[in-house]
Amino acid sequence: MSTSVAGLIDAYDPTLPLAEASTIPASWYVDPRIHALEKQTTFARTWQFAARADQVRAPGDYATCEIAGEPILVVRGEDGVLRGFFNVCRHHAAAVMTAEQGCAKNLRCPYHGWTYTLEGALKGTPGFLEECHFDRAGHGLVPVDVEEWEQWVFVRLERGGPSLAEYFGETVMAELRALRLDTLHWFERRHYIFDCNWKVFVDNYLDGGYHVPHLHKGLNSVLDFKRYTIENGPRHCLQSSPVVQGDDATFSAVRGGDRALYYWFHPNFMLNWYEGKLDTNIVRPLGVDRTEVIFDFWFADVSEAARGQNLASIAVGDVVQDEDMAICHSVQRGLRSRAYSTGRLSARREAGEHLFHRLLHADLSAGA
Ligand code: FES
Ligand SMILES: [Fe+2]
What is the 8-class DSSP label of residue 344? B
Identify the CATH number of the domain defined by range 48-164: 2.102.10.10
Domain with CATH 2.102.10.10 in the chain: 48-164
Q: Whose CA is nearest to atom 3 of ligand 1?
A: 112
- Which contacts qualify for 270-278: CB closer than 8 Å, 24 or more apart? 270/205, 271/176, 273/179, 274/243, 276/184, 276/300, 276/301, 277/184, 277/313, 278/181, 278/184
- Mean pLDDT of the region 87-95: 98
- Mean pLDDT of the region 273-286: 96
- Residue 245 confidence class, pLDDT cut points 50, 70, 90: confident
- Angle (deg, nearest 10), helices 198-205 and 351-367: 150
Q: Cα(206)–Cα(113) distance, rounded to whole angstroms?
A: 47
Q: What is the pLDDT of residues 126-153, one digit of tens each?
A: 999 888 899 999 999 999 999 999 999 9
Residue among 98, 107, 114, 141 to mutate when testing ligand 1 (max atoms within 8 A of CB): 114
H/E segment holding residue 365: helix 351-367
pLDDT exceeds 60 at position 109: yes
Rounded distance from Cα 334 to ligand 2 centre (Å): 18
Q: What is the pLDDT of residues 155-167, one digit of tens each?
A: 999 999 999 999 9
The residue type found at 1 is: M
Domain with CATH 3.90.380.10 in the chain: 169-363
Q: Cα(21)–Cα(70) distance, rounded to whole angstroms?
A: 34
- Residue 121 confidence class, pLDDT cut points 50, 70, 90: very high
What percent of the chain clears pLDDT 70, i.e. is strictly above it? 100
> Rounded to an integer, what is the distance from CA 354 to the centroid of its chain?
18
DSSP one-letter string for 226-284: GG-EEEE-SSEEEEEEEB---S-HHHHTT--SSEEEEEEETTTEEEEEETTEEEEEEEE
Q: Cα(116)–Cα(73) distance, rounded to whole angstroms?
A: 12
Residue among 73, 98, 109 to mutate when testing ligand 1 (max atoms within 8 A of CB): 109
Q: Whose CA is nearest to atom 4 of ligand 1?
A: 112
Please say whether the beta carbons of 86 and 71 come within 8 A.
yes
Identify the CATH number of the domain defined by range 169-363: 3.90.380.10
- Residue 249 confidence class, pLDDT cut points 50, 70, 90: confident
Give the pLDDT score at 130.
86
The residue type found at 46 is: T
pLDDT exceeds 90 at position 253: no
H/E segment holding residue 146: strand 143-149
Ligand 1: residues within 6 Å at CB?
89, 91-92, 94, 109, 111-114
Give the pLDDT score at 1.
52
Any idea which of 128-137, 178-187, 273-282, 359-368 has the lowest mean pLDDT?
A: 128-137
Rounded distance from Cα 81 to ligand 1 centre (Å): 25
Give the pLDDT score at 250.
86
Please say whether the beta carbons of 66 and 294 come within 8 A.
no
pLDDT exceeds 90 at position 289: yes
Closest atom of ligand 1 to 96 CA is 2
pLDDT exceeds 90 at position 246: no
pLDDT exceeds 90 at position 212: yes
- Residue 2 confidence class, pLDDT cut points 50, 70, 90: confident
Q: What is the pLDDT of residues 52-71, one digit of tens each?
A: 999 999 999 999 999 999 99
- Residue 91 confidence class, pLDDT cut points 50, 70, 90: very high
Q: Output the average pLDDT for the chain.
A: 96
H/E segment holding residue 290: strand 290-299
Q: What is the pLDDT of residues 307-361, one digit of tens each?
A: 999 999 999 999 999 999 999 999 999 999 999 999 999 999 999 999 999 999 9
Q: Cα(8)–Cα(33) distance, rounded to whole angstroms?
A: 10
Which residue, among 221, 201, 203, has the nearest Cα to 212 in the 3D structure? 221
Residue among 111, 115, 123 to mutate when testing ligand 1 (max atoms within 8 A of CB): 111
Closest atom of ligand 1 to 109 CA is 2
- Angle (deg, nearest 10), helices 351-367 and 32-40: 80
Strand, helix or coil for residue 323:
helix
- Using DSSP bridges, classify how beta strands 269-274 and 152-156 pair: parallel, antiparallel or unpaired: unpaired
